């Protein structure tokens, strides 16, 4: 679902009513929503004034303030509201709102995990003007954690190498991905992950784009690369199977919100553009 909405990030809470603000009330990877005949909607500040007291200002979506709130695990939803996996909001809300939901999940998780200093145990304090907590004793700052990860589409002629992750809740094939190890460059991570997971070598590695991915609290950095050699051999742990696929005979692939799907769709468009027209 496309959207013309624009989001302007912010940190310091504005001096205005929260009654019409959107509340992203998080419990882990779940968000609190209302459900009217299968249509999910986010609550407003007037609906839940008490939980909004501990809210973090996220910014403004068009003319609407947005707040993230980290709820306790034993929080009981009031009548008319329920927890749903945040992913289920995809196509239920516009893309801009979905992106803010992802931001809210990450900030709520950071708020819960950094309320005390990891060095001395002192309660941390919010820092004005930025997204940070700081220990008032040793002044250690704590920022929201972002884990860099790479994702790569491997191509060979008009084919692409796609893999099925053993841990996917639903069986589909996607691109190879993995987290960056300390001391690695992004390019080194791509080569290592591909060799470990599917056993092949690469050439002509090129940057594609990036996407924040809150469901792993990561930043996905996308690449395209050409096959350079080696037999496809899966690791049997993370990857259950991997095969070459023609663009006209694809398996089930990731949904359109993901950078993996953007990589796949871009390659399909390139292959079809090269074909002669009758």
Find out whether 89 and 40 touch, Cβ atoms under 8 Å: yes
CATH of segment(s) 147-274? 3.90.79.10
Q: Is the pLDDT of residue 183 over 50?
A: yes
Predicted pLDDT at 142:
93
Angle among Cα 91, 207, 61 to the nearest 5 degrees reads 35
Predicted pLDDT at 53:
66
**Burial degree of 28 (CB within 10 A; 0-12, 13-18, 19+):** middle
**Burial degree of 21 (CB within 10 A; 0-12, 13-18, 19+):** buried
Output phi, psi for 112, to 5 deg.
-70, -40
Give the contacts of 85 (CB within 8 A, at least 6 positions apart).
29, 30
Which residues fall in the annotated binding site for substrate? 87, 130, 143, 260
Mean per-residue pLDDT over the chain, rounded? 89
Q: Which tokens hold the place of 151?
A: 């994702």
Which residues fall in the annotated binding site for a divalent metal cation? 177, 193, 197, 238
Which residues fall in the annotated binding site? 87, 117, 120, 130, 135, 143, 177, 193, 197, 238, 260
Predicted pLDDT at 38:
73
Q: Which tokens hold the place of 218?
A: 């990561």
CATH of segment(s) 7-112? 3.90.79
Closest by Cα among 150, 136, 40, 143 to 87: 40
Predicted pLDDT at 169:
61
Distances (CA, A) of 51 to 34, 45, 47, 48, 64: 15, 9, 10, 6, 18
What distance lies between CA 80 and its chain's CA centroid?
Answer: 28
- The yes-or-no answer to whether 7-112 and 147-274 have a common fold is yes
Q: For the segment 12-45, what is each residue's pLDDT rounded down to a tens digit?
A: 889 898 899 999 999 988 999 988 777 888 999 8
Predicted confidence band of residue 52 (pLDDT cuts 50, 70, 90): low
Q: For the segment 216-267, what is each residue's pLDDT rounded down to a tens digit?
A: 678 999 999 999 999 999 988 889 999 999 999 999 998 888 899 999 999 9
- Distance between CA 269 and CA 124 in Å, rounded? 50
pTM over the 0.85 mark: no
Predicted confidence band of residue 148 (pLDDT cuts 50, 70, 90): very high
Which residues fall in the annotated binding site for Zn(2+)? 117, 120, 135
Q: What is the mean pLDDT of residues 110-121?
A: 92
**Residue ranges of the domains in the chain?**
7-112, 114-144, 147-274
Output phi, psi for 153, to 5 deg.
-100, 120
């Amino acid at each position: 679902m496309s959207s013309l909405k624009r989001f302007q990030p912010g940190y310091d809470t504005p001096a205005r009513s929260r009654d019409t603000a959107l509340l992203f009330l998080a419990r882990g990877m779940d968000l609190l929503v209302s459900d009217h005949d299968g249509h999910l909607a986010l609550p407003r500040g007037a609906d839940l004034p008490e939980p909004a007291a501990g809210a973090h200002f996220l910014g403004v979506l068009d003319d609407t303030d947005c707040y993230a709130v980290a709820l306790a695990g034993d929080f009981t939803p009031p009548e008319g509201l329920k927890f749903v996996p945040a992913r289920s909001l995809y196509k239920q809300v516009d893309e801009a709102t979905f992106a803010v939901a992802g931001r809210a999940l990450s900030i709520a998780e950071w708020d819960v995990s950094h309320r005390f200093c990891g060095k001395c145990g002192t309660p941390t304090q919010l820092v004005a003007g930025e997204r940070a907590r700081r220990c008032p004793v040793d002044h250690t700052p704590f920022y929201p954690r972002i884990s860099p990860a790479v994702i790569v589409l491997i191509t060979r002629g008009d084919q692409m190498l796609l893999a099925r992750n053993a841990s996917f809740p639903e069986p589909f094939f996607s691109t190879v991905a993995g987290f960056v190890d300390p001391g690695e460059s992004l390019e080194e991570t791509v080569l290592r992950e591909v060799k470990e997971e599917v056993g092949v070598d690469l050439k002509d590695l090129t940057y594609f784009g990036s996407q924040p991915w809150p469901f792993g609290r990561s930043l996905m950095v996308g690449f395209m690369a050409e096959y350079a050699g080696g037999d496809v051999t899966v690791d049997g742990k993370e990857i259950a199977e991997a095969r070459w696929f023609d663009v006209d005979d694809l398996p089930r692939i990731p949904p359109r919100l993901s950078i993996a799907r953007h990589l796949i769709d871009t390659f399909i468009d390139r292959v079809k553009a090269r074909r002669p027209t009758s």
